Amino acid sequence: MDLPGEKLVIKLWETLADKGIGSLLAPWQVGREGRARNEIRRHEILMLAQAEADAADIRSGKKQLRSDGALLPTNSADIRSDMDERIEPTLGLSKAVEYGSRASAAAAARSEINATKAILFAEEQLSIDQEVPSDRPVDDDWLFTWREHAGKVSTEDLQRLWGSVLAGEVKAPGRYSIRTLEFLKTLSKSEAETISKLAGYVINGCIARSQNAYLESKGISFGTLLEMQDLGVISGVEALGLAQNYPSTAPDRFIRALVCHNKALILEHSDASKIVEIEVYMLTAVGRQVLGLGSFEADTDYLRLVGKKLLNDGFTVKLGDWQNVSDTQGRFYNAQEIKDDGTPAGD
């Protein structure tokens, strides 16, 4: 019987092997399935640590690569012999060539190590995912663009981010555009932190304008929203009257779920023709894809305020836990009805 995520992990490695990506892990690609994966992963982490140490030695000049790929101390007789066999550049450029070769080798090693770590994070994420993989292949151009960008990040947080991008694309090819990859490569740590903070207030791809005062109290000022708009994550910050309408999802009565990550507001009314209208800031297409990369939790106080404001339109409003079942469906449980207690519901 397949373990959770087994098919997704197999698709990941088949995708990478076809393109020659993740070559550092090639010795362990066969036999990764099943319970042996954890043991293999321990070996890979040790191997990557040694590879990082070797790359640092190349960069500092302590070691050099022979033309046959062997890595030896710089003062080794074998290195000197290897260099004697080559035709040296003239016009005093030998040192420049030597330093350039050293930098190029170190950069290539560092890029391969960074991408490999991101791949392992992708595998880690897919190994616990029970979703059935798509039959569609990952686009070649997308994969090579991912490889280029993932190779440039050396912090664990960003490697995890790029691992999440790869995992999501393996599950559903086409989920993340190349434009989103280009956006992520320029993202600073502080911008990523602001986006993560903003994520807790996104309901069905929107942020409620009526809760500006609450957002301000949580460190999301109007200036922050403008910054996110300039970055291309949200839109409508300076617009007046931008609203999102939500009709019923049932034919005989009004019912609608407004989902915020692990929580949801369920709106109900006896009149199926009712429409929920909420003034919002909208996530852009890139913003939706970027926020889809992380695992965020909803701010329940914010959701209660949004729910209380909707009571004025005659809806019954419940707040509870939400679990996605698919891209279009979910499960709602632990529901509690929101009551009007007389306190302000927003500006």
Burial of 201 (0-12, 13-18, 19+ CB in 10 A): buried
Are the CB atoms for 270 and 253 separated by under 8 Å? yes
The identity of residue 299, as a single letter, is: D
If one compares 147 and 82, the residue with the highest pLDDT of the two is: 147
Tell me what the mean pLDDT of segment 237-251 comes to: 89
Q: How far is residue 203's CA from residue 216's CA, in Å, rounded to a whole number?
A: 17
Residue-level pLDDT at 58: 56
Tell me what the mean pLDDT of segment 120-131 comes to: 85
Reference 249, options 204, 217, 280; nearest CA is 204
Answer yes or no: is pLDDT of 142 > 70.
yes
Phi-psi region of 75 (alpha: psi -120 to 50; beta: other; left: phi over 0): alpha
Burial of 30 (0-12, 13-18, 19+ CB in 10 A): exposed
Q: Which two tokens stand for residue 9?
A: 């992990």
- Bridge partners of residue 277, in order along the sequence: 245
Q: What is the pTM of this model?
A: 0.71
**Over the stretch 9-63, which tens digit does the pLDDT of each residue have?**
888 888 887 777 866 555 445 445 444 555 555 555 555 555 556 656 655 666 6
If one compares 75 and 331, the residue with the highest pLDDT of the two is: 331
Residue-level pLDDT at 46: 54
Residue-level pLDDT at 83: 46
H helices within the chain, ranges in order? 6-19, 26-29, 36-60, 77-84, 94-126, 140-150, 156-171, 178-185, 189-199, 212-217, 222-231, 285-291, 300-311
